[in-house]
Amino acid sequence: MRDFGTLEYVLDTYSKNWTWKLTGDRAVSMVARVIPQAWYGNGPDEAIVPDTQQNVQKIKWIIDRYPLEIKSKLIWNRKMKRVVEPKKKWTRIEKLRKANPGNQFRGTLLNFQREGLDFLIKSYGNALLADEMGLGKTVQTLAYLATEKQTFPALIVAPLVTLNNWQREIQKFLKKRSRNGRIIEEEYPSSVLIRTGKSQEIGKYDVYIINYDLLYKRIDDLSKLGIKTIVCDEVQHLRSKTTKKYSAVKKLAALDSIKYRIGLSGTPIYNRGSEIWPIVDILRPGLLGTFEEFCEYFCYVNEKGKAIVLENKRASLGEELRKHVMLRRKKSDVLKELKEKVRYKEFIDSDISYYQTELGKIWQRLEEEQKTATSAFDKFSSYKRAIQSERQAAGIAKVPHVIEFVKNIMEIEESVVVFCHHKAIHELLHKNLSEYLPSSIIGGQTDKERQDNIDKFQNGETKLMIAGLRAGNVGINLSRARYVIFAELDWSPAIHRQAEDRLHRIGQKNTVFAYYLIGNGTLDDHVANVLVDKSYEIDAIMDEKEEPFESREKAELILAQIHDKLAAR
| 3-state SS track over 125-142 | CEEEECCCCCCCHHHHHH
Q: Cβ–Cβ contacts within 10 Å for residue 313, how many?
A: 17
Check residue 489 and give left, alpha or beta (phi > 0: left; psi -120 to 50: alpha). beta
CA distance 208 to 211: 10
Q: How far apart are CA 529 and CA 534, in angstroms?
A: 9
pLDDT of residue 44: 79
Q: What is the mean pLDDT of each run of 10 residues along the chain (569 residues)?
A: 80 82 86 83 86 84 83 84 40 74 92 92 92 85 96 94 86 90 91 93 95 94 96 92 93 94 86 87 90 85 79 86 89 65 79 89 86 79 81 90 86 82 91 91 84 87 88 69 84 75 70 83 76 57 43 48 61
State the pLDDT at residue 437: 92
Q: CA-CA distance, 338 to 498, in Å (whole number)?
A: 17
* Residue 294: Cβ-neighbour burial (10 angstroms; 0-12, 13-18, 19+): buried
Task: Name the pTM for this structure.
Answer: 0.56
DSSP 8-class letter at 36: T
Is the distance from CB of 284 to CB of 255 less than 8 angstroms?
A: no
Helices (H) and strands (E) in the chain, counts: 20, 22
Which pLDDT score is estimated for 511? 74
Cα 524 to Cα 385: distance, rounded to the nearest angstrom:
17
Closest CA to 389 of 411, 413, 345, 359: 359
Every domain range in the chain assigned CATH 3.40.50.300 = 341-567
What are the residue ranges of CATH 3.40.50.10810 in the chain?
A: 111-334
pLDDT attached to residue 4: 79
Look up the CATH architecture of domain 341-567. Answer: 3-Layer(aba) Sandwich (3.40)
Confidence (pLDDT) at 90:
32
Superfamily of domain 111-334: Tandem AAA-ATPase domain (3.40.50.10810)
